[in-house]
């Protein structure tokens, strides 16, 4: 018998840290949401600047969201073909360019077009970043990983709303867009330095037939149509109101863009709390109860905003709404990453397309409801609808991994 000891078992491979990926992609999400939300507090200011009505300026919000949505069917296959990291970098550079152009324009029509094109660029960042996280994080950890990404993304939303109003008040609205340019460029630098496309992935050549094949794969899942339809409704119900917040607060209390920005940023604070507590919420509540609780919290918060309180009370009201929103939406995000693992970029792009179609439609529906019913009654109607929506969603689309 040989005295040579048997070889020791090979050590298990060390787990790959997702922290650098989440931090850098979070910075990209920050840049996207910062740019996305800077218009909301400026709506009365821009109405005066361009001699337009509030509903006309709200069209710019709709243009951004609609372009964000309509660009998704093209951006998803692009990301699957050339790589998600490369796609994000290209879109960040384009977002910086069009934000800079927006700071220079003197025409409402040109501004609307520039914001629409910026919406396409912004649409190639967050959905693709979520798909990249989905590529690397196992399903049981994915909602937590997405929650951490969401923390940084939502800080961008908070900053976009709050800083937009403050910068416009003290420096001017053009400086707001220049700030967005600088932030997008910084995120692009981080992506180019820290993140590299995966080298062990075989990608299909970008082609129309390949894109259609990816979409056939996505829609082969019977859950796909239901999930996307629910997300459209969610976007309509939750994003009908932000475009009118600044005008409503001015009408009620005479406050300007700085205060309106702080109120809208409150929604981001609530989302931030969700991001910090994601693991606890997933473990304690589970996806079904999170969805139902989110709908109720959003409904209560929205109902409170229907009444004429002192303007500063809207900050905690919108914080509660933001927390409830991500209890609802965070569950949808995690489910969307698993619709088509082999075409995850396309699946997440269509998910974002659906959500932003809802966001683009929401201000139009809310404006129509306000015209017919008055602002208070319209907001109460939306509040009841979102509470019902959150409760019935798990019955319409049973959530994988949930418990009742």
- On whether residue 23 sits in a domain, the answer given is yes
Q: Structurally, how many domains does the chain consist of? A: 1
Give pairs for 199-207: CB < 8 Å, separation 24+. Answer: 201/83, 203/80, 203/81, 203/82, 203/83, 204/80, 204/81, 205/81, 206/77, 206/78, 206/81, 206/82
- On whether residue 320 sits in a domain, the answer given is yes
pLDDT at 198: 62
Give the domain CATH number at 261. Answer: 1.20.1250.20
Percentage of the residues of the chain whose pLDDT score is greater than 90: 29
pLDDT at 206: 67
The region of weakest confidence among 178-192, 301-315, 344-358, 378-392 is: 344-358
Confidence of residue 9 (pLDDT cuts 50, 70, 90): very low
Q: Taking the complete model, does pTM exceed 0.75, yes or no?
A: no
Among candidate residues 149, 89, 76, the one with its CA nearest the CA of residue 344: 76
- On whether residue 70 sits in a domain, the answer given is yes
Whether the predicted pLDDT of 302 surpasses 90: yes
- On whether residue 107 sits in a domain, the answer given is yes
Cα–Cα dist 371/182, whole Å:
39
260-273 confidence digits (pLDDT tens): 888 887 887 887 78
346-396 confidence digits (pLDDT tens): 787 788 889 888 988 898 899 899 999 999 999 999 999 999 999 998 888
Percentage of the residues of the chain whose pLDDT score is greater than 70: 89
Confidence of residue 305 (pLDDT cuts 50, 70, 90): very high
pLDDT at 201: 62
Domain range for residue 161?
Answer: 19-194+217-396
Average pLDDT, stretch 16-28? 79
- On whether residue 326 sits in a domain, the answer given is yes
Whether the predicted pLDDT of 125 surpasses 80: yes
Cα–Cα dist 275/147, whole Å:
5
Task: Decide: 252 and 308 in contact? Cβ < 8 Å.
Answer: yes
Burial environment of residue 254 by CB neighbours within 10 A (0 to 12, 13 to 18, 19 or more): exposed
- On whether residue 211 sits in a domain, the answer given is no
Task: Decide: 358 and 385 in contact? Cβ < 8 Å.
Answer: no
Task: Decide: 176 and 166 in contact? Cβ < 8 Å.
Answer: no
- On whether residue 387 sits in a domain, the answer given is yes
- Between 277 and 125, the more confident residue is 125
Among candidate residues 94, 100, 53, the one with its CA nearest the CA of residue 244: 53
- On whether residue 380 sits in a domain, the answer given is yes
């Amino acid at each position: 018998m040989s005295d040579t000891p048997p070889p020791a078992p090979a050590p298990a491979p060390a787990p790959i840290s997702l922290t650098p990926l989440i931090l850098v992609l979070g910075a990209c999400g920050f840049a996207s949401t910062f740019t996305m939300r800077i218009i909301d507090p400026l709506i009365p200011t821009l109405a005066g600047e361009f001699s337009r009505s509030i509903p006309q300026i709200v069209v710019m919000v709709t243009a951004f969201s609609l372009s964000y949505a309509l660009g998704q069917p093209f951006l998803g296959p692009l990301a699957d073909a050339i790589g998600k990291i490369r796609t994000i970098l290209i879109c960040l550079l384009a977002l910086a360019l069009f934000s800079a152009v927006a700071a220079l324009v003197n025409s409402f029509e040109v501004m609307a077009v520039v914001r629409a094109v910026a919406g396409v660029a912004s649409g190639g960042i967050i959905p693709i970043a979520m798909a990249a996280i989905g590529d690397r994080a196992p399903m049981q950890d994915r909602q937590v990983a997405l929650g951490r990404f969401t923390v940084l993304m939502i800080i961008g939303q908070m900053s976009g709303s709050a800083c937009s109003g403050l910068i416009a008040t003290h420096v001017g609205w053009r400086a707001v867009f220049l700030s967005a340019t600088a932030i997008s460029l910084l995120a692009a630098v981080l992506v180019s330095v820290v993140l590299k496309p995966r080298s062990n992935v075989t990608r299909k050549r970008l082609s129309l037939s390949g894109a259609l094949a990816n979409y056939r794969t996505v829609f082969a899942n019977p859950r796909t149509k239901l999930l996307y339809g629910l997300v459209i409704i969610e976007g309509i119900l939750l994003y009908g109101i932000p475009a009118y917040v600044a005008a409503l607060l001015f009408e009620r209390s005479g406050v300007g863009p700085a205060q309106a920005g702080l109120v809208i940023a409150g929604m981001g604070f609530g989302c931030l709390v969700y991001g910090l507590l994601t693991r606890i919420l997933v473990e304690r509540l589970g996806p079904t109860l999170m969805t139902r609780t989110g709908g109720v919290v959003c409904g209560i918060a929205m109902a409170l905003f229907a009444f004429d309180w002192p303007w500063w009370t809207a900050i905690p009201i919108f914080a509660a709404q933001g927390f409830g929103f991500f209890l609802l939406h965070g569950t949808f995000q995690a489910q969307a990453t698993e619709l088509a693992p082999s075409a995850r970029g396309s699946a997440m792009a269509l998910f974002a397309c659906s959500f932003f179609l809802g966001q683009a439609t929401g201000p139009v529906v809310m404006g129509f409801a306000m015209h017919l019913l008055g602002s208070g009654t319209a907001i109460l109607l939306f509040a009841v609808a979102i509470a019902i929506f959150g409760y019935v969603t798990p019955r319409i689309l049973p959530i994988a991994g949930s418990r009742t």
